[in-house]
Amino acid sequence: MVINKPSGLLCLAFLLINIFSACRNSKSDAQAAFYYWKTDFNLTGKQQSLLKEVGANRLYVRFFDVVWDTRLNQSVPRAILKASDVSKDLRIIPVVYLTNQVFEKTRGSELDSLASRVNRQILHLAEKAGVNYEEVQIDCDWTVGTRPAYFSFLSLFRKYTGKKLSATIRLHQVKYPEKTGVPPVDKGILMFYNMGKISADPKLANSIYNKEDAARYLQRIRYYHLPLDVALPLFSWTLQIREGKVIQLYAKITRKELSDADRFTKTKYQDVYRARKSFFTVGVYIKENDLLKLEEISENTLKEAARQLTSELAVLKKRNIIYYELSSENASAIDAKDLQEISSYF
């Protein structure tokens, strides 16, 4: 029997199918990591177990904030980390959060001093905690107006630290790089959360993550001129709404508290509850008829976010998937295997 040779077009089709299958089935090189944002560094047994089960030894630890003190008329450190004898098994990346006001108020001639002081403070805290680090991350939600000062600070800080430098990137900064610019760092961390509007309107979608709001930012993400790690939300909160206004956000009011039928009744809106009476719960005063709007991140939400993002991201070998954050209630509520699966999508 004579078997005809496949055509060139058919061979190409088989080749593409095999390549696609190999890529889809290849093991992800993405590494799971966590943020740690508490001032006191003291990992609980649950947190240590989660790190071990997820296979994550990389922790992005907030060392301190830099804020503008209007009384002193200068930038000062706040929320300084208290840590000593951090486990040598952990790879610690110091994170410093600087408010946008710091760069609104700091004069150009003072930026070098600011960069030097931030570096010295990191060195002091790292030495005190027994931490050796290879990277520093800077967190700032800069604007078009503060871009020149912030980028100048990053360049000056890079000179002082001599370490790898990363910076957080908000979604609006990815969408409009021609306006907000691309920071002079080695790598960006895309913060894939807090993308919607915090609103008293009970009809509006989850402001931490929802697919529709996320889609508005993703068209140009693969062309961003920095390699991007990804930060995903591992937290939830509840909005307290009174007389049509959001008066506070509470991480400690969870679905467990809202499920108390003696205190709350469900409304026609998803995850929105009305207080039946006035009372205190977990130290929070709830007034009769207050609306409580739960904005929750579950394993299914995280998987949806990961699938949506991976379809648009440029390929990056050994991407870090950083969950915010380790000490949140959600961190212990989501199984380690789910976090491993989510990380593997990248």
Say if residue 291 is in the same domain as residue 192: no
Which whole-number Å values give the CA distances from 92 to 57, 125, 326, in the listed order? Answer: 8, 12, 13
What mean pLDDT is predicted for residues 29-36? 94
Domain assignment present for residue 227? The answer is: yes
Q: What pLDDT shows up at residue 196?
A: 87
- Asked if 304 contacts 250 with a C-beta cutoff of 8 angstroms, the reply is no
Q: What pLDDT shows up at residue 28?
A: 61
Say if residue 190 is in the same domain as residue 142: yes
pLDDT in tens, 238-272: 999 999 999 999 999 999 999 999 999 999 999 99
Q: What pLDDT shows up at residue 12?
A: 46
Domain assignment present for residue 221? The answer is: yes
pLDDT at 178 over 60: yes
Say if residue 219 is in the same domain as residue 250: no
What mean pLDDT is predicted for residues 136-165? 98
Q: What pLDDT shows up at residue 332?
A: 76
Domain assignment present for residue 81? The answer is: yes
Say if residue 303 is in the same domain as residue 254: no
Say if residue 329 is in the same domain as residue 267: no
Helix, strand, or coil here: 303? helix
Q: What is the CATH number of the domain that holds 62?
A: 3.20.20.80
Return phi, psi of residue 183, to 5°: -65, 150
What mean pLDDT is predicted for residues 212-237? 94
Say if residue 34 is in the same domain as residue 106: yes
Domain assignment present for residue 319? The answer is: yes
Domain assignment present for residue 19? The answer is: no
Domain assignment present for residue 24? The answer is: no
Say if residue 225 is in the same domain as residue 166: yes
Say if residue 178 is in the same domain as residue 143: yes
What mean pLDDT is predicted for residues 133-140? 98
Assign 72 a pLDDT band (cuts: 50, 70, 90): very high
Q: What pLDDT shows up at residue 81?
A: 97
- The sign of the dihedral angle between the CA atoms of 217, 218, 219, 225 is positive
Say if residue 52 is in the same domain as residue 129: yes
Which of these ranges, 77-81, 88-92, 107-111, 326-330, has the smallest mean pLDDT? 326-330
The answer to whether the peptide bond before residue 325 is cis (omega within 30 degrees of 0) is: yes
Q: What pLDDT shows up at residue 107?
A: 96
pLDDT at 22 over 50: no
Q: Which residue has the higher pLDDT, 20 or 121?
A: 121
Chain-wide mean pLDDT for the chain? 91
Say if residue 126 is in the same domain as residue 198: yes
Say if residue 262 is in the same domain as residue 137: no
Domain of 258, in residue numbers: 237-295
Assign 84 a pLDDT band (cuts: 50, 70, 90): confident
Domain assignment present for residue 4? The answer is: no
pLDDT at 85 over 90: no
Assign 152 a pLDDT band (cuts: 50, 70, 90): very high
- Domains contained in the chain, number: 2
Say if residue 232 is in the same domain as residue 281: no
Domain assignment present for residue 112? The answer is: yes
